[in-house]
Amino acid sequence: MRKISKKLYISFILLLLVFLPINAESNDLPEITVRVNPNFELLAVVYTLATDNPYPVNQDYFNDLMDYFGDYKDHEAVKSMEQKISFDRSTAEGFFFK
């Protein structure tokens, strides 16, 4: 009985090794694609133009953004964002600091 179970065990292991697919490219990294929704990017640009942020996280990106979009600082969308931000700040200050 013991010999049969040992043979059965070895046969089972061999079958697993034969029938399981072996991935020879397992060390390859998967391809990763990073995408940014254009709507979010536009919102970020308008928000950046509307705020006074003297310490941006990425100075190079901020400088490039200002070089490319700086002429639009007086655009209606930027002015609207400035009003919205101003309203939110005054409302929050009025609520928390009575």
Q: Which domain holds residue 76?
A: 31-98
Please give the pLDDT value at position 38: 93
3 in a domain, yes or no? Answer: no
Query: In whole numbers, what is the pLDDT of the chain averaged over residues?
Result: 79
Please give the pLDDT value at position 25: 57
How many angstroms separate the first and last alpha carbons of the chain? 86
| pLDDT of 69 over the 80 cut | yes
The structural domain count of the chain equals 1
Closest C-alpha among 78, 75, 88 to residue 46: 78
Supply the pTM of this predicted model. Answer: 0.55
Which run of H or E residues covers position 33? none
| pLDDT of 3 over the 60 cut | no
94 in a domain, yes or no? Answer: yes
31-59 as b/e, with b when 16 or more CB fall inside 10 Å? eeeeeeeeeeeeeebbebbbeeeeeeeee
- How far apart CA 65 and CA 58 sit, in angstroms, is 11
18 in a domain, yes or no? Answer: no
Convert the pLDDT of each residue in 6-53 to its tens digit: 777 788 787 777 777 665 555 677 888 999 899 999 998 999 999 877
Using a pLDDT cut of 70, give the percent of the chain over it. 74
